[in-house]
Amino acid sequence: MKLKTLSTAILLTTVPMTGVFAAAMDRSGQSISAFLQPGNYFEAGISVLDPTVEGQEAGTSATQRNISDMAGDYYFPSAALKLQPTDKFSFGILYDQPFGADAEYTGNNVFVSNGGETVLPQATLNSISQNAVTQLVTAAGAAFAPALVAVTNVTGGNPLAPTQQEVLGALQQVAAGGNATVAGGLTQLQQTQAALNATNSALGQGNTKVEVNTQNLAFVFGFQPTENWNIYAGPVYQTVKGNLSLRGQAYSLFNGYDASIKETGDLGWLAGLAFQIPEIALKASLTYRSEIEHEADTTESLSALSPALIGILQGVGVSADKLAALDESGKNKITTPQSVNLDFQTGIMENTVAFANVRWVEWSKFAIRPHQFGKIAEAVGSLPSVNRPNGFNLVEYSDDQISATVGVGRKLSEQWAGNVSVGWDSGAGNPVSTLGPTEGYWNVGLGVQFSPAPNYFIAGGVKYFMLGDAKAQTGAQAGGDEYVAKFEDNDALAYGLKIGYRF
C-alpha cells in the first residue's frame, strides 16, 4: 500500500473536532497533523458545538429547583500553513483556539439573583442571630424570666414559648434596668442586623455567566534527517481574555462579583518527534506543549463590598490587615496548562487506515485567583466557620485530563472517503467548578471527505457526546466534598468543516 493510494483516507484523520468538549476548558485538542502533511499544504476549518447541560440544585443548597441549560453554543476556527522549501527542512504556522468557556445560568436557581438573596443562607443568618440572643439571655441571668412574663402579659403570648420579638423585648427591659452587658449586646446586635440588611440590599442582580477565549499562533520549524524522521519545535504566542459575573445565593457574599480580564499575550513553546513509513501509511508523532504564564490586567468589582460588609467581617473577627487589603488591585496570574499529544495511524488493508490520538493535559495545577477576589477569599476564609485561612480560588481542577480517540478511515472512491471514530475523556475531577459542570465524556463520530481534484478537498464531520455526570461546587467548596448542584444525563452535538489544499 503506497501513501499515494491512501492519501485521501489519511487526510480524514485531520477532520476538525478532536477535542471540542473536552475536560475543564480544553477545546481544540491542539493537533499537529497539518504540519506533518507531505509537501506544501494549507488548511482552514471551523468547529461548532451545541451542548445541553441541565441540572438540579443539590448538596448544600436549601432548595431543589431545576436548572435549565446553562452551556452556551460556541464555534472556533483553525488554520495551518506548512511549507517544505527543501527535502530536509519545513516550516509551519498553526492557528487555533485551544482553551475557552461559555456559560450562563438563567431562570430561578441559586446561580441567578432575582432579588431577595442574602449574604449568607437565611437559615445560617437565623442561627447566628439566635446564638447571639441566647448569649444575651444567659447574660441577663435571673432578671430575664420576670421581664419575659411582663412582656408576654402585654402581647398575650406564652412565656414558655416566646417569639424572638418577645425575647428581645424582655432583654430590652433587662438592659433598661441597668444591665450594661445586655445593653451593649443589644446595641451590637442591632448594628450587625443593620449592616446585614445594607449588605443584602447591595448584592448583585442578574445571571452567573462566564466567557473565556484564547488564541494560539505556533511557529514550527522541522528537520527531516531521513524520509522516516521529523524533528520539530518552535515558539507559541498565546492570548487570553475573559469576562465573569457571579450571581445568586450559591456564591454568598460574592453574589455581585464581576471580573473583566483584558486581552494579554505571552510566549510558550512546543517540541515533538514524528516517525513514518510511507509504504504502509504508518505515521506516529509525539508533541509536547509548554504551559504559558500570563500576567493579565483584571478589572474587578464586588457590589457588596461596602463599609457595612467590612464592619460585619470586623465584628466576626477578621484581622485588620486582611480587611485593609480588600480594596487592593493587582495583576491576575493565569497559567494555561502543559500538554502532550500522541498521534498514530497505519494502513490496515488496501485503502483503509486506522488512527488514534491520546492527549494529556495538566489541569490539576491550573487555578484562577484574581487579585481582589483572592484578598476577599483570604478574609472570609479566616473565619472558623469557613476554615480556609489561605483563601480559595475562583476556579481550580483536581485531576489531570486524559482523552483518547480511535477510528478507521476508508477511501470509497477516487473522490470520496469516510471515517468513524469513538472518543473518551476522563474529565478533570468531580466535584467540578460551577462554571463548567461536566465530568468527561464518551463520543461517537462520523466524517466524510470530497476531493474534486487530487490536490484539494472539503471535509466535514459530526460527533455526538454523552457528557459525564458531575457535582458542581463553588470556589469556597473546592477541595472538599460539598457541592451546590448536580448535572446528569447531558449531551452535546459537534459539527466541523475543513478545506485543505496542496501546492
- Rounded CA-CA distance 474/102 in Å is 17
* Residue predicted with more confidence, 19 or 135: 135
pLDDT digits (tens, 9 = 90+) for 413-435: 999 999 999 999 999 999 999 99
For residue 261, CA distances in Å to 86, 102, 242, 297, 436 come to 43, 15, 5, 6, 18
- Rounded CA-CA distance 333/258 in Å is 17
Q: What DSSP line would sit under 459-490, residue for residue?
A: EEEEEEEEEPPEEEE-GGGTTSS--SEEE-SE
CA angle 286–448–19, rounded 5-degree value? 40
Q: Identify residue 439 by its one-letter amino acid code.
A: E
Helix (H) or strand (E) holding 321: helix 320-324
- Rounded CA-CA distance 208/145 in Å is 49
- Rounded CA-CA distance 370/394 in Å is 7
314-327 average pLDDT score: 78
Q: Of 398, 306, 407, which Cα lies nearest the Cα of 355?
A: 407
DSSP state of 437: -
Longest dimension (CA), the chain: 103
CA angle 445–276–235, rounded 5-degree value? 80
To 10 degrees, what angle do helices 122-140 and 180-202 make? Answer: 170
CA angle 128–131–135, rounded 5-degree value? 140
**Using 50, 70 and 90 to split pLDDT, how confident is the model at 284?**
very high
- Rounded CA-CA distance 8/29 in Å is 22
Strand pairing report for 100-104 and 66-67: unpaired
Query: What is the pLDDT, as a whole number, of residue 437?
Result: 94
Of 109-118, 187-196, 228-237, the one with minimum mean pLDDT is 187-196
- Rounded CA-CA distance 249/210 in Å is 17
Is the preceding peptide bond at 384 cis, omega within 30 degrees of 0? no
Percent of the chain with pLDDT over 70: 95
Percent of the chain with pLDDT over 90: 75
Read off the C-alpha cell for 60: 448544600
Q: Identify residue 348 by its one-letter amino acid code.
A: I
pLDDT digits (tens, 9 = 90+) for 40-84: 999 999 999 999 999 999 999 989 999 999 999 988 899 999 999
**Using 50, 70 and 90 to split pLDDT, how confident is the model at 400?**
very high
Per DSSP (E only), the strands in 39-73 are 41-52, 55-57, 66-67
Three-state DSSP class for 370? coil
* Residue predicted with more confidence, 194 or 33: 33
* Helix segments in 339-435, DSSP class H: 371-381
Helix (H) or strand (E) holding 158: none
Residue 335: partners with Cβ closer than 8 Å, 6 or more residues away:
291, 292, 293, 294, 365, 366
Of 11-15, 53-57, 114-118, 414-418, the one with minimum mean pLDDT is 11-15
Chain-centroid distance, C-alpha 388: 21
Query: What is the pLDDT, as a whole number, of residue 11?
Result: 47
307 class by beta-carbon count within 10 Å (0-12 exposed, 13-18 middle, 19+ buried): exposed
Residue 394: partners with Cβ closer than 8 Å, 6 or more residues away:
244, 259, 368, 369, 370, 373, 475
- Rounded CA-CA distance 465/468 in Å is 9
Residue pair 415/453 in contact by the 8 Å Cβ criterion: no
- Rounded CA-CA distance 84/108 in Å is 57
- Domains, the chain: 3-116+205-495 (2.40.160.60), 127-194 (no CATH)
- Rounded CA-CA distance 11/33 in Å is 9
Residue 138: partners with Cβ closer than 8 Å, 6 or more residues away:
none
- Rounded CA-CA distance 421/443 in Å is 8
Mean pLDDT of the chain, nearest integer: 90
Position 320 pLDDT exceeds 90: no
The whole-model pTM stands at 0.89
Position 1 pLDDT exceeds 50: no
